[in-house]
Chain A
Amino acid sequence: QKEVEQDPGPLSVPEGAIVSLNCTYSNSAFQYFMWYRQYSRKGPELLMYTYSSGNKEDGRFTAQVDKSSKYISLFIRDSQPSDSATYLCAMGSQGGSEKLVFGKGTKLTVNP
């Protein structure tokens, strides 16, 4: 079992839809959780950062972490064609290198 599992999709939605992206993980030591957006052939761009459990909202984006279920989510409201990208979840634990462990990424297309 991989440490982080993420459905690669692809996911296709109409403009204005609510998008739900998810990851599960197996390492209970993970304490901080991030979502990155990556456009084709570009570097990952940090979207959301959450420490421990709970919700965090930033504009149209909401990140949720449920440590008891080892499950994290990213919601995108009022999706736009410019949101079309690959979304990567990443997580890490405090102490040591604090390297990130990534999911495979979910490819999202928002159709106008």
Chain B
Amino acid sequence: DTGVSQDPRHKITKRGQNVTFRCDPISEHNRLYWYRQTLGQGPEFLTYFQNEAQLEKSRLLSDRFSAERPKGSFSTLEIQRTEQGDSAMYLCASSFSERGLFEQFFGPGTRLTVL
């Protein structure tokens, strides 16, 4: 079990550019979550997938954000026309929803800095 992995770990971009992050969940986990964490705050929910279906999106997820999980495996989170307010740590978590298990396991995060 290699855990949740995220790539890249750090991304510095200029305002207005597009960025894409990747998350690989724990292999048998059918649920995948994206959260965003800013300095001094706890993670905030952005969106989640059950298998390949995106089933819920937070109001925090503006139209500039899009997430996909093709074939129910890895997921990507794209931010278009980045703004300085998008600077944050983007965290991915996965869980196995069967048998009443609710624990979510997080990856190391992608730290985004928008200049």
**Residues of chain A having any CB pair with chain B under 8 Å:** 4, 6, 8, 32, 34, 36, 41-46, 49, 51, 88, 90, 92, 94, 96-105
- Please name all residues of chain A whose beta carbon is closer than 8 Å to the beta carbon of B91 when the two chains form the complex: 43-44
- Residue in B31, B40, B43, B55 whose CB lies within 8 Å of A102: B43
User: By the criterion CB–CB under 8 Å, are B109 and A88 in contact?
Assistant: no
- Residue in A8, A45, A88, A96 whose CB lies within 8 Å of B56: A96
CB nearest to B91 among chain A residues: A43
CB nearest to B46 among chain A residues: A99
- Besides A44-B43, A98-B102, A101-B45, 6 other CB < 8 A contacts? A36-B106, A43-B6, A46-B106, A90-B42, A97-B55, A105-B40
User: By the criterion CB–CB under 8 Å, are B42 and A102 in contact?
Assistant: yes
In the assembled complex, the Cα of A88 lies from the Cα of B91 at a distance in Å of: 14
Q: Is the interface of B mostly helix, strand, loop or mixed?
A: strand
In the assembled complex, the Cα of A9 lies from the Cα of B24 at a distance in Å of: 33
Bitwise interface map of B from 73 to 115 toward A, beta carbon under 8 Å scored 1, else 0:
0000000000000000101010101001011111111010000
Given contacts A49-B103, A97-B56, contact A102 B108 (CB under 8 A): no
Total interface residues in chain B, CB < 8 Å = 29
In the assembled complex, the Cα of A103 lies from the Cα of B40 at a distance in Å of: 10
In the assembled complex, the Cα of A74 lies from the Cα of B87 at a distance in Å of: 31
Given contacts A43-B107, A43-B108, contact A100 B43 (CB under 8 A): yes
Considering only residues 29-50 of chain B, those with a C-beta below 8 Å from chain A are 31, 33, 35, 40-45, 48
Given contacts A43-B91, A104-B40, contact A99 B103 (CB under 8 A): no
In the complex, what's the smallest C-beta–C-beta distance from A18 to chain B, in angstroms? 24
CB nearest to A44 among chain B residues: B106
